[in-house]
Structure 1
Amino acid sequence: MRYLLAAALVCVLTLMISASILADEQGSPSAAIENSLGMKFVLVPAGEFEMGSDESPDVLSKDYPQYERGRVQELEDEAPVHRVRITQPFYLGQFEVTVGQFRKFLEASGYILESVADGTGGYGYNANYDPTKSDSGDAFEGRDPKYSWRNPGFVQGDNHPVLNVTWNDAVALAKWLSEKEGVKYRLPTEAEWEYASRAGTHTRYASGDNPESLIKIANIFDSDAKEDWPRWTQFALSGHDSFAFTSPVGSFAPNAWGLYDMHGNVWEWVSDWYANDYYAKSPVDDPQGPADGIARVRRGGSWHTWSLYARSSYRNWLSPNSRYILVGMRLVREVSER
């Protein structure tokens, strides 16, 4: 009798474990783990996906008629679509790194941000600033020491995504956390980021192909944001997401893997150097990007991003020491200890 009960118990446990493994393979959300700064991480399963986009300028022009032809012709770096295999699971930040978490890092580490070290500051929103009358023509005012992660020109709480951080600042945070906790933290690769953003989907957005579907999952340029940018009204989504600037992280629905704000809110630094022809020679297994370059990739779009540029496949880049009102980060925590 004891043997039969033991055998039955083993059978039940085996079925439970098998069901758990199957759930991971199918990409269902896993329970989040939390680190010493209060960052929550979700396990992203190993797997394969088709990276990039092969949509033609004709197709994109038809579906995004408000954009001039030149804009859709500049997206050739999303091709060719190529198979990528992520061979190891990894933990990815469930949310973008917040103002409050970044403050804790600075207070505990004594790290000096690049914008402070070089004395030039960051970028910010100024309602009286006119891009057409500035030397740079940039949409936002800066660089200026009055703008920083503390002050982007509008109110942010501790639960909003941190802004005006450079790629080097993001790497410094990951390095400090790794040393403090004995677990490897880093920026995601570009391939890991797109894989996690798609979460098993093959559409332009995790919410589908229709740009208006973003209202349910993303804080991007819409009818709330356009009030401050009337000259770009034609690029705004017709819906309202209730935020003219950044939103608290996790304000919208997550994707299928339990990740929030993979589209919109802030652009997110990834680890790769940028090269427009990299996809043509990318390895299948765990691509790391070019060996060198002059700019690092950022992904996902922001609260000020037009829908064409919030697609899962869209690529953008900045120099590693750039700091901007639209750019933040999300970290990877590796599964195995060092």
Structure 2
Amino acid sequence: MIRYFPLALGLMLCSGAQAQNAPRTWIEPRTGMPFVWIPKGCFQMGTDTAVALPPDAMFRHLPAARDLAADEHPRHEVCVEGFWISKYETRNADWRRIMDPKTGIGAADHPVSGVTWSQARAFAERLGAGPGSKISFRLPTEAEWEYACRGGAAEESVPTGREASDRAWYNKNEDGTAAPRPAGKLAANAFGLHDMLGNVWEWVDDGYVADAYARHDLFDPRAGESAADRVIRGGSHRSEPMHMRCANRGRYPADESLPTLGFRLVRSK
């Protein structure tokens, strides 16, 4: 059941000062996956104008720049209940421990990738099905994901140079490696979460609806329950800097996989 909480309190909890407090953590006992508590609050989801592009003329000539925020409108208020979300993208070691020790492409500490939306949900179900377990897991909603990614920040722009390299693995990192990196090597955001941007795209629970933001409920919105394409968030190590934004939305068929697409989980209870 969704509980009402005052807007003023929600905005206070969304403040940068709140986000900078030491995060509460919980360790999942079967895998050792750390989860971070995200306090309930309200925020402005999406963008209300075209995203501010850097002065570099290269960005302005890219075709994607013209429609950079086309499905991020209208910017609107959303309130979410508090939730536990995994500190890192789900790693190969986590996947192998729960699913199959012979699966998961890459090193144990790299994010698992090449899994479908349904496979990600199956992992969540199995993780919560241990002997005597009273805890369940799921993919985050699109609203929860963006709220967690923003870490209390109200605005964002396209990062460039050192700012981009310090916060995300993307296609122009200095070492030039076109592959996922070990989880958690770059600095955490203000909520204590790593790799919310870059490294691998992340499945979320919502189906993709281009105008979902015009239909969202105020509290804990979800969209596109029966949609064939599901929302993906965060960009990957192959993404352009302009996509290293918390508000950026992507889409992909639920029954298909990509080597640049993984996930993280939310603890339901």
Report deviation, 1:210.
Answer: 3.0
Aligned residue in 1 for 2:121? 171
Which of 42, 46, 51 matches 1:48? Answer: 42
Structure 2 CA distance for aligned equivalents of residues 284 and 98 of structure 1: 33
Aligned residue in 1 for 2:85? 92
- Calculate the aligned-residue CA RMSD, in Å: 2.5
What does the per-residue CA deviation read over 1:232-258, in whole Å, with 9 as the maximum and x for residues that have no partner?
xxxxxxxx2574411110000000110
Structure 2 CA distance for aligned equivalents of residues 201 and 319 of structure 1: 30
- Please state whether the residue corresponding to 2:129 is helix, strand or coil: helix
Report deviation, 1:292.
Answer: 2.4
CA contact (8 A) 2:14 2:152 kept: no
CA contact (8 A) 1:98 1:160 kept: yes
Aligned residue in 2 for 1:305? 239
What does the per-residue CA deviation read over 1:183-232, in whole Å, with 9 as the maximum and x for residues that have no partner?
12000000000000001112326xxx533212112111115xxxxxxxxx
C-alpha distance 22-62 of structure 1, shift in aligned 2 (>3 A) = closer
C-alpha distance 204-65 of structure 1, shift in aligned 2 (>3 A) = farther
Structure 1 CA distance for aligned equivalents of residues 186 and 198 of structure 2: 10
C-alpha distance 69-160 of structure 1, shift in aligned 2 (>3 A) = closer
Which of 200, 219, 225 matches 1:291? Answer: 225
- The one-letter amino acid paired with 1:101 is D
Which of 26, 31, 34 matches 2:18? Answer: 26
Aligned residue in 2 for 1:204? 156
- The one-letter amino acid paired with 2:18 is Q
Structure 1 CA distance for aligned equivalents of residues 194 and 57 of structure 2: 25
C-alpha distance 39-160 of structure 1, shift in aligned 2 (>3 A) = same
Correspondence 1:97-176 to 2 at 5 A: 97-107=90-100, 149-150=104-105, 156-176=106-126
Structure 2 CA distance for aligned equivalents of residues 292 and 307 of structure 1: 31
Correspondence 1:227-246 to 2 at 5 A: 240=174, 243-246=177-180
Structure 2 CA distance for aligned equivalents of residues 277 and 325 of structure 1: 28
Aligned residue in 2 for 1:272? 206
CA contact (8 A) 2:96 2:104 kept: no
2:212 paired with 1:220: no
Q: Which runs of 5+ in 2 are unaligned?
A: 1-12
Structure 2 CA distance for aligned equivalents of residues 186 and 72 of structure 1: 33
What does the per-residue CA deviation read over 1:104-145, in whole Å, with 9 as the maximum and x for residues that have no partner?
11238x9xxxxxxxxxxxxxxxxxxxxxxxxxxxxxxxxxxx
Aligned residue in 2 for 1:185? 137
- The one-letter amino acid paired with 1:43 is W
Going by fraction, where is helix more abundant, 1 or 2?
1
What does the per-residue CA deviation read over 1:135-188, in whole Å, with 9 as the maximum and x for residues that have no partner?
xxxxxxxxxxxxx733xxxxx310000110000000001111222232120000
- How many equivalent pairs are there? 251
Which of 70, 81, 84 matches 2:75? Answer: 81
Structure 2 CA distance for aligned equivalents of residues 188 and 157 of structure 1: 25
Aligned residue in 1 for 2:5? none
Report deviation, 1:69.
Answer: 5.4
Structure 1 CA distance for aligned equivalents of residues 104 and 84 of structure 2: 25
CA contact (8 A) 1:30 1:258 kept: yes
2:261 paired with 1:327: yes
- Please state whether the residue corresponding to 1:66 is helix, strand or coil: helix
Identity %: 33
Report deviation, 1:68.
Answer: 2.9
- The one-letter amino acid paired with 1:199 is G
CA contact (8 A) 2:114 2:262 kept: yes
Report deviation, 1:301.
Answer: 0.6
C-alpha distance 95-308 of structure 1, shift in aligned 2 (>3 A) = same
Structure 2 CA distance for aligned equivalents of residues 168 and 62 of structure 1: 41
TM-score where L is the length of structure 2: 0.85
TM-score where L is the length of structure 1: 0.69
Structure 1 CA distance for aligned equivalents of residues 24 and 260 of structure 2: 29
- Give 1 or 2 for the bigger CA radius of gyration: 1
CA contact (8 A) 2:89 2:263 kept: yes
- The one-letter amino acid paired with 2:255 is N
Structure 2 CA distance for aligned equivalents of residues 106 and 273 of structure 1: 24
